[in-house]
Amino acid sequence: MRPQNIKTRIFLDSGDPQETKQVLSALGFLDGQTTNPSLIAKNPELKNKLSNGERLSSEDINNFYKGVVQEISRMIPQGSVSVEVYADAETPVEEMLVQAREMNTWIPNAHIKLPITASGLEAAHILTSEGMRVNMTLCFSQQQAAAVYVATRGVKKGDVFLSPFIGRLDDQGENGMSFIENVHAMFAKSDGHVELLAASVRTYEHFEYCLKLGVDLVTAPAKILLQWAEHAMEVPSDGYMYDKGIMKDLLYEDVVLDKKWGEYDIHHDLTDAGLAKFVADWNSLISK
């Protein structure tokens, strides 16, 4: 069962329903699950089909994704399941809208993942005004976080998640956890309608520090959640210190939350690289 003294909701980051089952049984609860094209590409059943020489069209892969998401949704009907649109840095808003509306019919408990590009923000603005729930992904700067906040202003709490990525900042020597601290601090002064979902969690220490900070949500791979179960779902004490090693902290920027969303500088190289990777992983599944 969920520990009493925990503020953060716990999500599994995986495209494999077998892991949902395993983590649910180890923890006794799960608040949600996040998926993305790269995680679906790692699904063992799909990998098996491909290694057996099955030829799959883009429609087949999409249907497979739908089946996976439906299976996960049935296991955590009270939770949230994030489903990501297929998009690159150039994908126009209309294309995102079509995909998002379709994916949102797959399950009753979806958050639709959209990238933080100009089109993604516009799509989020339109879709949330229609009552759809979104998870804005590949976030690497406070400017991007602020743009998401403004583009969805007025939307009810619970309908908008923001996914700052920790591990990919660490990869380039920047302390991803300092970025989480900064977004957490920036949103502490906000109306709270955007919830911070810490993502790209690679280590048990990332996970622990997210709990210590009390971020709204954290999504972590099965391996880390199972490790947490082995540690009796401990919550770090007040004295917990995160060791950033030799990484450089990202400095807190005083970003105001009352500009127009188009006025924020939303470009980040890691967002572009992340989109390119999702597209490449997805396209690698499609038979030529």
Binding site for ligand G3P (CB under 6 A): 13, 34, 36, 39, 165, 167-168, 199-200, 202, 219
Q: Please report, for residues 130, 208, 265, 275, 278, the alpha-carbon distance to residue 37 in angstroms, rounded to integers and kept in the order given.
A: 25, 26, 26, 10, 5
Nearer to ligand G3P by Cβ, of 20 and 34: the residue is: 34
Nearer to ligand G3P by Cβ, of 73 and 150: the residue is: 73
Give the nearest distance from C-beta 98 to ligand G3P in angstroms: 24
Give the nearest distance from C-beta 137 to ligand G3P in angstroms: 7
* Residue of 47, 66, 113, 157 marked catalytic: 113
Residue 63 to residue 255: CA distance in whole angstroms: 41
Task: Determine if residue 67 is left, alpha or beta; phi over 0 gives left, psi from -120 to 50 gives alpha, anything else beta.
Answer: alpha
Give the nearest distance from C-beta 208 to ligand G3P in angstroms: 17
Q: Which residues, in sequence order, are bridge partners of residue 134?
A: 112, 160
Nearer to ligand G3P by Cβ, of 193 and 202: the residue is: 202
Among 87, 88, 51, 43, CA closest to 69: 43
CB 50 within 8 A of CB 251: no
Locate tokens 């470009």: which residue?
267
Q: Is 219 helix (H, G, I), strand (E, B) or coil?
A: strand
* Centroid of chain to Cα 14: 10
Give the nearest distance from C-beta 72 to ligand G3P in angstroms: 14
Nearer to ligand G3P by Cβ, of 153 and 171: the residue is: 171
Q: Please report, for residues 36, 103, 266, the alpha-carbon distance to residue 39 in angstroms, rounded to integers and kept in the order given.
A: 5, 17, 25
Give the nearest distance from C-beta 60 to ligand G3P in angstroms: 23
CB 204 within 8 A of CB 240: no
Residue 42 annotated as catalytic: no
Give the nearest distance from C-beta 12 to ligand G3P in angstroms: 10
Nearer to ligand G3P by Cβ, of 150 and 166: the residue is: 166
Nearer to ligand G3P by Cβ, of 142 and 274: the residue is: 274
Q: Burial, 238: exposed, middle or buried (Cβ in 10 Å; 0-12, 13-18, 19+)?
A: exposed
Integer distance in angstroms from the first to the last C-alpha of the chain? Answer: 47
Q: Please report, for residues 67, 169, 176, 224, 253, the alpha-carbon distance to residue 247 in angstroms, rounded to integers and kept in the order given.
A: 40, 10, 9, 22, 18
What amino acid positions are annotated as catalytic residues?
A: 113
